[in-house]
Amino acid sequence: MPRWSSRNSANLPRSMPAQAMHNQHFETDSSVTSTLKMLSYNIQTGIDTRAYRGYVTGGWKHLLPHVGRVHNLRRIADIVADYDFVALQEIDSGSIRSGFLNQVEYLAERAQFPYWHTQINRDLGMLAQHGNGLLSRVMPESMEDHKLPGVIPGRGAIMLRLPFAGRHLVVVMLHLSLGTRSREKQLEYVAQCVADEDLVVVMGDMNCHAHELLTQSPLAKLNLMSVEDSQPTFPAWQPQVALDHILVSPGLTMRNYEVLDCHLSDHLPIGLTVGLAEQTVAA
């Protein structure tokens, strides 16, 4: 069963309130702050692909361990350490290829995040434990794992509720399918999950452009917003398309959007500071 984990307490069952011990050195006091510095990163299980030919010549890295992977994870930990909340895609939670290392737990420990969670979406036993992960400095009130529909199974979303400036912020982090039909089903599912929520962030590797998500997908009914000029995030060595996004509901503001220039995966990470809109604060 997937678990929500804390560096300061025992694991907690999913979908239940997190009641971990506080560690003020590591945590963000979300009851006071009205901003969260968020990051989304497809880390490709720690593989730093540098060209399309790398998918062929380095294909063995998706099956077997290699020294460079741990070095890459150290550098990724240095990047994510600057953020309050991190959504990770394409992680391995402990198999042969990762040297039986839970990559999310490793990043949480090295970057000093008090809360982390691993969602396994493709369980291939000792060969691969593939899925999503998250790191948080804010203690969540609840967390749920969702298996997303699709023609080919193996996609998932993590949905959690965070205390935020005296309110509640619902965050959905996911990795959508490549196929249009499957993405439509997955986005319809997500839209239904958050239809009645006021403050929402949907983030992750969407495998499509923001314009399509906001105007031509089931998410359009939520009136979510993206930054005006999404920058390309894939492929990392010569970015051409924006596949990674952080979308927010109208009650939230966006600032300090950035695509980080680091070549530790085949995607570039994106960062965004999310805050409460003035009318939301007044309400």
Per-residue pLDDT tens for 173-200?
999 999 999 999 999 999 999 999 999 9
In the chain, domain spans: 3-282
- Per-residue pLDDT tens listing for the chain (283 residues): 234 554 433 333 333 333 332 333 446 655 556 899 999 999 999 999 888 888 888 888 888 888 889 999 999 999 999 999 999 999 999 999 988 999 999 999 999 999 999 999 999 889 889 999 999 999 999 999 999 999 888 999 999 999 998 999 999 999 999 999 999 999 999 999 999 999 999 999 999 999 999 999 999 999 999 999 899 999 999 999 999 999 999 999 999 999 999 999 999 999 999 999 876 655 5
pLDDT of residue 28: 61
User: Position of tokens 């239809």?
Assistant: 195
Task: Please report the sign of the dihedral spanned by the C-alpha atoms of residue 179, residue 175, residue 165, residue 139.
Answer: positive
Strand order in the sheet with 244-248: 142-147, 156-164, 167-175, 200-205, 244-248
CATH architecture of 3-282: 4-Layer Sandwich (3.60)
pLDDT for position 59: 87
Distance CA 124, CA 128 (A): 5
SS3 56: helix
How is the beta sheet containing 252-259 ordered, strand by strand?
9-13, 3-6, 115-123, 129-136, 85-92, 35-42, 270-276, 252-259
CA 200/CA 38 separation, integer angstroms:
13
